[in-house]
Structure formats: C-alpha cells, structure tokens
Amino acid sequence: MRVMGIDPGLTRCGVGVVEGRPGAPGTMVAVAVVRTDPEAPLAERLLALDDGLRALLEEHEPEAVAVERVFSQHNVASVIGTAQASGIALLAGARLGLPTATYTPSEVKNAVCGNGTADKRQVTTMVTRILRLKEAPKPADAADALAIAICHLWRGGVKARIAEATARALASQAAPTRRGTAR
Amino acid sequence: MRVMGIDPGLTRCGVGVVEGRPGAPGTMVAVAVVRTDPEAPLAERLLALDDGLRALLEEHEPEAVAVERVFSQHNVASVIGTAQASGIALLAGARLGLPTATYTPSEVKNAVCGNGTADKRQVTTMVTRILRLKEAPKPADAADALAIAICHLWRGGVKARIAEATARALASQAAPTRRGTAR
C-alpha cells in the first residue's frame, strides 16, 4: 500500500510517500516540500499549495493520504495558517476520492519512536532507520511527513485488521440471529 | 460590481452576493448557507463545502470574493474548523482567478454600522436597511456574509479609488522624470 504523509504548513508543507504494509519496514518513494511565498497574498499561497499537492498526488498516485492533525495548543499565531494548509491537504486527497486520515503529533511519534514525546531528532533518526535510508531524508523538514505516512501504514493496518476481525465476529454472530428473526 | 461575501464556518458557511458600487446602496443578489454534517469525516466535510461554494460561484458569477478573516482570539475549539473553511473559501475564489480579500470582523462592523464593536442584531438591522430588504435576510446567519460583501464594495471601492489616484499622481510625476532621464 502506498501512503502520502503530509505535514501541513503554509510556508513549508512536508510531503512523504511511503510504500509498505503493517509490521514490515516500508520503502521511501518520494519526499518533497511544497513552499509558498510568505509575502504573497493568502489566496495565492493557498492556490500554490493546492497546485503543488495536486501535482505530487498525480505523480505518485498514493492509495491513501495521512495528514498531521492541527492542535489549538500550537503557537496561536501560526495555527490558523497550519489549519488552512491542512484543510487544503485533506481536500486535495478527498477530491481524488482517496481515503484520508489525521493523526496527532504524539500518535505519529509514538508510532515511529514508541514515545509520544520524542523530539524532532529522534523522529528523523527512526524514519531513517525504518526506511533503511543511507542518510537522513532531505529536506530535513520532510522527515515528519514520512513519519506520518509510516504511522498510517502501521496504525491504519492494525485498525483495518481490527475492523475486519470485528466485522467477521459480528457476521458469525449475526447469522444465527438473522435466522432466528426469520422464524 | 458583484461581490460574494463569505462568513467561513465548517458546520454553517454563510454566503451573500451583493451587486453595487461604493457610496451607493447595493442590491442583494443571493443569500445562502452551505451546511456540512458535523458527524461526517473532516475531509468529506471540506469536500462538501468546496462543492457548495463552487456551485454558488458558478451560479452567481461574482467579480470578487471577500472572506471574513479568522482570528486567533476566537473560541480556540472552533478556530481550526473556521480557519480550514476560510482556506477552502479563498481557494475556491482564487481557483476561478477572482480577486479575493479578507476583512476582520471589526472592519466589517465598522463598514456597515460605523462601529467596530456593533452586535449581531445591529449588523442584521443595517444590512436589511442598506439593501432595502422588506425583512431581515434569511437564513439569519447569512446576514454577516452580506455585510462582508457590502464592506468589500464600499471599502474596496475606496481603496481602488485611492490606488487609481495614486497611480495618476505617480504617472504625472513620472512623465517629466522619464523625459529627464532620456536626455
């Protein structure tokens, strides 16, 4: 399964594409940063971000999009721009009919470092190790986007297996009940 | 000039279209609210909002889009959704190549009520009066969107006149200078 992780930002938006499956190390497909000019009018920046993300989605054809969830605890001055960028990212995925998911920063850190309060350096180290890269991914601020993609592959996989098992259990329970009702 | 005012919100996004020019009372062309299901996944809601705004833009063909600016002083729990909705609104306008503008709530209140701290009731009263409506616009929460459109018509007009006058003044100054340089 191929996942595009997006670390939303208006000035720098990290994008990381990872191919893999739950429980196995993944492979890095691409890593990029979409930049917009902080001096440009807001609508122009949002359009440039949307164009950039659409081009990357078209190029790498992921099967799912995972976006870091914006928190109100973030720096209040930057939270609005980050929220707008995350909205554009989720819309870009949904527009293509792709499943989307959001993860909190601590869910992402927990997934790749086993520690929800890991720092940026630890995340970069673990992403480099998990994806068996020769050196830390560049641009550096895209390591988080790769971590988000890995988080989705691993957690999403677990979630999907649980959902599947639950559905099977319910189906086997439901069958006699349904026969019962038919009597 | 026809302006679409947008009062961004994820659950209820107010839209008001006004035709007019600076210094003259305007005419209401349309008023609507785009609603999205609070229970639906975020990406689905953003897509529904984008679809709704695009349909209204296509139907009413405004020449400009004005969106209320999101403030970090807003309720922190709702600011992220409001910021995402405003991003979608600005993108929808920019995607069509329309000029976009943002105004703070107090700029809007000042424009229609002459008072930056006017309450919701006063804004509705003044919008009804300015647009010479027989009764307050419905749905009620779209009155703000009409106020944003009126604000843009009036303030945008003043701004455009100042820009034009400045350009004329600069041109008349620049002409002899250019001749001077040519000597």
Q: Are the Cβ atoms of A87 and B90 closer than 8 angstroms? A: no
* Nearest-angstrom CA–CA distance, A30 and A4: 9
Please say whether the beta carbons of B89 and B8 come within 8 A: yes
For residue A171, give both structure tokens.
């189906």
What is the ipTM for the molecules in this complex?
0.81
Q: What percent of chain A has pLDDT over 90?
A: 71
Cβ contact B43–A77 (<8 Å): no
User: What distance in Å separates the CA atoms of residue B23 and residue B183, rounded to the nearest whole number?
Assistant: 45
Residue A7 assigned ligand-binding role: yes
Rounded CA-CA distance B158/B146 in Å is: 18
pLDDT digits (tens, 9 = 90+) for B83-113: 999 999 999 999 999 999 999 999 999 999 9
**Is A119 assigned a ligand-binding role in the annotation?**
no
Residues 6 or more apart in contact with residue A18 via CB below 8 angstroms: A2, A3, A5, A26, A27, A28, A29, A131, A146, A149, A150, A153
Query: b vs e for A76-98, b when ≥16 Cβ sit within 10 Å of the residue's Cβ?
Result: eeebbbbbbbbbbbbbbbbbeeb
| B50: confidence class by pLDDT, cuts 50, 70, 90 | very high
pLDDT exceeds 60 at position A182? no
Interface of A with B in 62-91 (CB under 8 A): 70, 72, 76-77, 79-81, 83-88, 90-91
Residue in chain B nearest A42 by alpha carbon = B90
* Sequence-distant (≥ 6) Cβ neighbours of residue A99 within 8 angstroms: A63, A64, A65, A93
Mean pLDDT of B141-155: 92
Indicate the fold that domain A2-182 takes in CATH: Nucleotidyltransferase; domain 5 (3.30.420)
- Among residues B123, B128, B91, which one has the least CA distance to residue A88? B91
Return the domain boundaries, chain A: 2-182
Nearest to B43 among A77, A81, A93 (CB): A93
Residue A43 φ/ψ, nearest 5 degrees: -60, -35
Using CA coordinates, name the residue in chain A closest to B67. A43
